[in-house]
Chains A and B, each alone.
Chain A
Amino acid sequence: MRVTFNVNGEDVSADNVWPGESLLYVLRERLGLPGSKNACEQGECGSCTVYFEGRTACSCMIAAGQAEGRQVRTVEGLAEGRGKGTDERPLGAVQEAFVEAGAVQCGFCTPGLLVQTDDLLERTVGARGQAPDDAEIREALAGNLCRCTGYEKIIDAVHLAAERRARAGSGA
């Protein structure tokens, strides 16, 4: 079958999609967007988290056909400018903070955590102008497994990104 939807602001189509394929498979293997990772295929690890119609979801749990006509945003769509493979491309605040705080080791969980964190900051700093506290961060990221870091640096990164976003939002 053919599936047509919008990814990171671009309309895309995939042909010859087998109905059993997940949105994750279509993104990774048919659309050249391998940033979303496949680590459990059961919605347990969060490595494949994307925005689906503006809400975060595990793309391994969404059948390809369900994406028809929908809006999807992946880790590849988090950076502020498009343009492939240059170090100069400005990173988003969350991406920047993860590198700076040492929240990235093997990095396999990172794309999902970035999307989930982006959403958390949208709901906290973005919506109410207030940064999330530790407990709130832990609840928000409880569906994203990381095996390398022990999560401490990830929490540091979320705080850093929240601070910067709050400062940018207040025009400071």
Chain B
Amino acid sequence: MAATTRVTDLSSTTRDGVGTSPRRPDGTLKVTGEFAYSSDMWMEDMLWGATLRSPHPHARILGIDITEALKVAGVQAVLTHEDVPGEKRYGLEFQDQPVLAFDKVRYKGEPVAVVAADHPETARRAMERIRVDYEVLDPVSDSRQAALDPDCPLVHEAGEVPHHPEYNPRGNRLRYQPIRTGAFTEVAGSADREQEVLEGLRAEAAAVVTTEYEVGMQDQAFLGPESGMAVPAEDGGVDLYVATQWLHADQRQIAPALGLDQEQVRLTLAGVGGAFGAREDLSMQIHACMLALHTGKPVKFVYNREESFYGHVHRHPAKMRYEHGARADGSLLYATAEVIVDGGAYASATPAVVGVASSLGLGPYEIPNALMDAYGVYTTNPPCGAMRGFGAVQSCFAYESQMDKLAAELGLHPVELRVRNALSQGSKVITGQEIDMPLPMVEMLERCRELPMPPERSALADPADQRTLPGGVAGTTRGEGVVRGVGYGVGLKNLCYSEDFDDYSTARVRMEVAGGEPVVQVHTAAAEVGQGLVTVKGQIARTELGVEKVVITPSDTQVGSAGSSSASRQSYMTGGAVKVACTSVREEVFALARAKGLVPEGSQDTDLSLTGGKVVSATAGALVSLADLLGEAAEGGAVVEHTREFHHRPTEMLDPQLGQGASHTQFGMCVHRAVVDVDVDLGLVKVVALDAVQDVGKVLHPQQLAGQIQGGSTQGLGLALMEEVQVEGSEIRNPSFTDYLIPTILDTPPMRIDVLERPDPHAPYGLRGAGEPPTLSSTPAIVAAVREATGRPLTHAPVRPEDIVGIEV
């Protein structure tokens, strides 16, 4: 017996704890095809749901006639807005989106009617027979006009939808967030005096760069389309099996629409085929429940890919004007920015996106004088909301492009300019919030610059191998016209929810003895969307409780809210909740041991630990096994169970005039270096390397962390080079995987990762959310590399072949 061994590092003694890379518990089912995704739900008597959508982006609904549709054999129900039992509108933050359209449609693809039938084809035929009379209206397509032109037609009539006065709403503006610091503070609100200050600063600057940038609308393009099944229950309620990011937020929106109490709407997480923000808003949830309650039968919805493009929000496209001025030594003197994000027809997460786009909109740089105007607007374009990076991606492309331009102007290396202006622990961002956690930006930049470079083309075994060239085996070049470029990018991202949101998660942890060994059950409502939270929950329980056998209970609404699987927050929040619930369990176990006289007199709880299935004293060694202490549960042994909430520290709203306030919980950073080969004649790009340095505070699962960084970097690659939902006259032109391109394995380079662990003292284990930061910095790094190769300005992400070749379209 190791009576004299002091046990402090639990992870080293309990297998598969925090810091190791155990297999994901759902891995086996996912490789055998047995894992039940939301689209795999099946019941004997189920019906198929289908959605009739508006063919127009903006139109008045004059009438809906469902008579002929109901006559189709096999059709069990056709429902319109008149059949919505409760609240007619729902929404994440503002209740502004109709369950089914009434009076008006505000985007192409808006749901107008739903059908339940015995076969998807029957449902489709029925939908063809629904007659909707529309009076087509002009679309409101231009986000800048919507933001700034007081004569722009309104998407929502005044007073029709809720507003939050602190968001400075006006006309189609959902939120206008100004930020003023330094010399701009005194003159805030007066356009003339702001202009005077700006001119003074310009005169003082050695270099000034001014550019307009655009970021296109990106789609999350999760692979598992919106789907789920609603099953009517005997109590008049409904059980819903669905792929979502936040079960309780869905429940909170579904129940009022159905006219039911919250507890009558029970949700269970079905298998989720990726999310990336696109499942924050409801899609088929209320529709499936309505049809199930109406027909008394289970109803399954599965969107196809085209419908999915209409069925979820996208990343906000942005129009941005940036100006930066620097002194001759490279230090920034001032920056101004106008950022307009297009929210489309309904609010979704737009106000929060503006909160991020403004507060982080000038990046991780010391800027003594800052002026930021950020707008989120209603248009009749497809609704936009959450996507990985959430408001920080768009502005990161702009400010990083500005930094490169400024470096070129001053004759500095892009890394050197960033180093000279880098924020660090103790610095303040432009909202006045102090960064009270490590931010080793200078070191990260230097480490990134020092990473080994990929071999030059001439050093390849076969430089003529087409698989190594832009255009690949299509054989568009043998190497002629191919130019290499290198670029850097840095991004600063808030992690967890911001701006006074009471962000929390709940965990129920239960310990008992079964079959002679201690078993821990962890129950949360957190959505496993692929990121691997399901693994991490088990690791934390093992580390905290010293028990190897941990069972993760399916996520449902039978336990308190876990908050959303977004904002890189679940390891922090649900991880934190599991940790505190384990602490409570552990304390009760110690108390039991004390009550049985198994703990030496005078021994404190801090001397005790749970490890290897035993209560262990630092001084006296193993005291008792959990099996002996608790006894077999089936034979009346003790069951120790605790449910705990974990809240992060409070944050503040940005003030509506000067944009000041400690609005964020935590900051995360990633630095990228991209190496590209560009066929400058054809405008084709091959990314040769995309290497990242990221500080994650503490690595919980090295392998899954790499998966997050590489996956996030690749989504940024998509935004840099190929991904754009093309919208013309408010209509999507490419709603398919044939026309909306996401990176394939051929488009994706080897990705080297260098991870730092500088703990955040405020966070569980010191960890930092890791999923989003790589998505910010990879885009500007790649575009910078293409710029270096081509000398083109490249102000639009994604970069299009014509931008590289220099053709005006």
Contact = CB atoms under 8 A, between A and B. Distances in A.
Interface of A: 18, 20, 28-29, 32-42, 44-45, 47, 74-76, 78-79, 84-85, 87, 89, 91, 95-96, 98-102, 104-111, 114, 134-135, 137-139, 141-155
A111 B33 contact: yes
17 contacts: A18-B121, A34-B37, A35-B34, A39-B223, A99-B31, A104-B30, A105-B274, A106-B222, A135-B467, A138-B467, A138-B745, A147-B711, A148-B530, A148-B707, A148-B711, A150-B743, A152-B706
Interface stretch (B20-28, B140-148, B586-594, B801-809): B20-28
A104 B305 contact: no
Nearest to B304: A41
A141 B743 CA distance: 12
Contacts of A110: 30-31
Given A76-B32, A135-B465, A135-B467, A153 B706 contact: yes
A167 to B, nearest CB: 20
Given A20-B121, A102-B706, A151 B748 contact: yes
Given A18-B119, A150-B713, A153-B703, A35 B32 contact: yes
A106 B737 contact: no
B40 A150 contact: no
Given A42-B738, A141-B745, A149-B711, A108 B274 contact: yes
The 6 closest A-B pairs by CB, nearest first: A35-B33, A106-B530, A150-B710, A107-B30, A108-B273, A150-B714
Most chain B CB inside 10 Å of its own CB: which residue of A33, A95, A108 = A108
Contacts of B21: 102
B356 interface: no
B35 A107 contact: yes
Most chain A CB inside 10 Å of its own CB: which residue of B31, B273, B736 = B31
Most chain A CB inside 10 Å of its own CB: which residue of B24, B273, B468 = B273
A93 to B, nearest CB: 11
A143 B704 CA distance: 24
B225 interface: yes
B432 interface: no
A78 B302 CA distance: 26
B707 A105 contact: yes
Interface string B711-745: 11111000000000000000000001110001111
B386 interface: no
A99 B28 contact: yes
B28 A145 contact: no
Contacts of A76: 32-34
Most chain B CB inside 10 Å of its own CB: which residue of A91, A105, A144, A153 = A105
A80 to B, nearest CB: 11
Interface residues of B, number: 63
A110 to B, nearest CB: 6
A108 B37 contact: yes
B751 interface: yes
Given A91-B28, A106-B224, 14 more contacts: A18-B121, A33-B33, A44-B738, A75-B33, A91-B31, A99-B27, A102-B707, A105-B531, A108-B530, A111-B33, A138-B467, A150-B707, A150-B712, A150-B748
B529 interface: yes
B761 interface: no
Contacts of B31: 75, 91, 95-96, 98-99, 104, 107, 110-111, 114
Contacts of A39: 223-225, 273, 305, 737
B305 A42 contact: yes
Interface string B271-305: 11111100000000000000000000000001011
Contact of A34 (B30, B42, B225): B42
B665 interface: no
Nearest to A105: B530
B465 A40 contact: no
Given A29-B42, A102-B706, A151 B714 contact: yes
A153 B705 CA distance: 11
A105 B532 contact: yes
B330 to A, nearest CB: 34
A61 to B, nearest CB: 12
A74 B34 CA distance: 12
B377 interface: no
Contacts of A33: 33
A132 B737 CA distance: 28
B707 A149 contact: yes
Contact of A151 (B23, B703, B712, B745): B745
B473 interface: yes
A20 B733 CA distance: 26
A130 to B, nearest CB: 16
B368 interface: no
A40 B712 CA distance: 22
Interface string B690-709: 00000000000001101100
Contacts of B529: 106
Contacts of B27: 98-99, 104, 107
Contacts of A150: 707, 710-714, 743, 748, 751
A107 B34 CA distance: 11
A144 B121 CA distance: 27
A109 B39 CA distance: 14
Contacts of B39: 34, 37-38
Interface in B91-123: 119, 121
B221 interface: yes
A138 B746 contact: yes
B750 interface: yes
A34 to B, nearest CB: 4
A108 B224 contact: yes
A74 B33 contact: yes
A138 B529 CA distance: 26
A37 B714 CA distance: 22
A155 to B, nearest CB: 8
Given A42-B738, A135-B465, A106 B223 contact: yes
Given A39-B224, A44-B737, A142-B744, A152 B40 contact: no
Contacts of A134: 750
A74 to B, nearest CB: 7
Contact of A89 (B32, B274, B468): B32
A110 B34 CA distance: 12
Contact of B223 (A87, A96, A108): A108
Contacts of A106: 222-224, 272-275, 529-530
Nearest to A111: B33
Most chain B CB inside 10 Å of its own CB: which residue of A37, A85, A101, A151 = A151
A99 B703 CA distance: 11
B33 A40 contact: no
B143 to A, nearest CB: 27
A146 B744 CA distance: 7
Contacts of B468: 135
Nearest to B778: A150
Given A35-B34, A38-B39, A142-B746, A107 B530 contact: yes
Nearest to A42: B738
Contact of B32 (A40, A91, A144): A91
Contacts of B530: 105-108, 148
A106 to B, nearest CB: 3
B471 to A, nearest CB: 13
Contacts of A155: 745
Contacts of A107: 26-27, 30-31, 35, 271, 273, 530
Most chain B CB inside 10 Å of its own CB: which residue of A104, A134, A141 = A104
Interface in B27-59: 27-28, 30-37, 39-40, 42
B527 to A, nearest CB: 11
